Structure 1
Amino acid sequence: MSDVLRIEGLFTDIAQYHILEGVDLAVPRGQVTMLLGRNGVGKTTTLKTVMGHWAAKAGSIRYDGQDITAWPTPARARAGIGFVPEDMGIFTDLTVEENMVLAAASGPPDAARLERVFAAFPPLKTFWKSEAGTLSGGQKQMLSIARAMAEERVLYLIDEPTKGLAPAIVSTMAGALRELKGQGASILLVEQNFAVAKALGDHAAVMDDGRIVWTGAMAELAADAGLQERLMGLSMEAE
């Protein structure tokens, strides 16, 4: 299986702080790779560096066989990388429909794509003409992911999509991500809900202090409470 994304020796500084300290990470094509670790170890910075929001100080980012380390963010998006930030990144004063139209650089989403979005997130069809700011927190998160689905993407970078959501909404979110994977997408997913990580992940990479300290099958990590404790100071079995 080929890797859709390969990061080697990635260093990223933010102001005077050294955040990424030589990250090596591979994301297999058509799979869900979980990026795990305690808060503040560099997971979000990794996603933002891949997307070009932060510039890499050193190292390389290869996407779909191309070195994109120096590409601007719009070029990465046009090449098929979708980013769902933790802060959702929606326009609250625009309608759900307007948010979706703006998210698709190639033009308004076609009917077939919209039907897939509505099947994954039925409330968005109900509130299609409503301002995004009037949606609940869970519905806003649905819209955030739907915006990344507005046109076909090869790779999705998704930052904590279930954070702060009620269990029923978490289940809906997990189902939508599973559907994305079923459509052949590759996903690099930062997630603190370990039940979701266990259910969705094919592979896992654990970060600590700006580096990847373990990689392997998600099932292997999920089955080994001692490994979880050693890597992250917690046990999934307690979640």
Structure 2
Amino acid sequence: MSNSLLSLKDVHANIHQYNILHGVNLEVPKGEVTMLLGRNGAGKTTTLRTIMGLWQAHAGTIELAGMDVTRQPTAQIAKQGVGYVPEDMGIFSDLTVEENMRLAAVSAPLSQERMDRIFLAFPPLKTFWHSAAGNLSGGQKQMLSIARAMAEERQLYLIDEPTKGLAPAIINTMAAALSELKAKGATILMVEQNFEVAKYLGDHCAVMEDGKIIWTGPMNELAQDNELQERLMGLNMEAS
């Protein structure tokens, strides 16, 4: 894919003695949202962690904007403009919301313009700006986790299950904020179990099974094909 910002070619990765990724091939187009879907244990989170350098690929290549980052350390990958929102949120509970945000802005101080944009997306963060992050609700902590990735311009966002365990109202807020990020031309690779959110945000889709990509295509193609959903992911729903 000529406009790919991120490219994985035959990527294998082990966790301890277990081989989790068995030759992942994936293209993430620039300026669009790619959903990484699949059953639990398919290797989705491991894929994101391997891209971020938290797990080392033992075979294959990972290229970011044409540069081989397969062996680069996590800090170096982050410096190249990759924002990572882990499934466990990765916030500092003992620090305030403000301190969490300022720590995330490593390239330049957090500007008022950027703070205003984040507050517009996530109003509770303004309310609890001086509060300890550990005192936030689950949904507010997830807002902070995503806001940290938005603390400075990124060329790529890796987001792992941002709506997991959240109430419907918070999911709507989260989806709206990510939609706004998408509208500004962000490139996003996102793991998401909520198929409605995936349909709403996704431009492209890759489905994983047993550590491999087994299907890729437009998100709307999968969204409109119930038989394909059930075959690939065991879903049984009426597509809208």
Q: TM-score, normalised by structure 2?
A: 0.98
> 2:238 aligns to what SS in structure 1?
helix
AA aligned to 2:123 is P
- Within 1, Cα distance between the matches of 2:176 and 2:238? 22
- Within 2, Cα distance between the matches of 1:20 and 1:94? 35
Deviation of 1:238 (Å): 7.9
* Matched-pair contact (CA < 8 Å) for 1:9–1:22: yes
* Matched-pair contact (CA < 8 Å) for 2:226–2:239: no
Deviations 1:65-114 (A, max 9, x none): 11111111111101000000000000001000000011111233111111
Deviation of 1:234 (Å): 1.3
Please list every run of 5 or more consecutive structure 2 residues that lacks an aligned counterpart in the other structure.
none
Deviation of 1:56 (Å): 0.3
Q: What is the match of residue 184 of structure 2?
A: 183
- Within 2, Cα distance between the matches of 1:132 and 1:195? 29
Percent identical among aligned pairs is: 68
Matched, 1:127 2:128: yes
> 1:237 aligns to what SS in structure 2?
coil
- Within 2, Cα distance between the matches of 1:201 and 1:207? 16
Please list every run of 5 or more consecutive structure 1 residues that lacks an aligned counterpart in the other structure.
none
> 1:150 aligns to what SS in structure 2?
coil
* Matched-pair contact (CA < 8 Å) for 1:100–1:108: no
Deviations 1:170-229 (A, max 9, x none): 000001111111111100000000000000000000000000000000000000000011
Q: What is the match of residue 200 of structure 2?
A: 199
Q: What is the match of residue 223 of structure 2?
A: 222
AA aligned to 2:111 is D
Q: What is the match of residue 166 of structure 2?
A: 165
Q: What is the match of residue 52 of structure 2?
A: 51
Matched, 1:90 2:91: yes
Task: List 4+ stretches of structure 1 deviating above 2 A.
Answer: 235-239
Q: What is the match of residue 12 of structure 1?
A: 13
Q: What is the match of residue 149 of structure 1?
A: 150
AA aligned to 1:22 is G
- Within 2, Cα distance between the matches of 1:107 and 1:101? 9
* Matched-pair contact (CA < 8 Å) for 1:222–1:236: no
- Within 2, Cα distance between the matches of 1:235 and 1:220? 16
- Within 1, Cα distance between the matches of 2:224 and 2:128? 41
Deviation of 1:237 (Å): 2.5
Q: What is the match of residue 27 of structure 1?
A: 28
> 1:57 aligns to what SS in structure 2?
strand
* Matched-pair contact (CA < 8 Å) for 2:157–2:189: yes
> 1:145 aligns to what SS in structure 2?
helix
Q: TM-score, normalised by structure 1?
A: 0.98
Q: CA RMSD in A?
A: 1.1
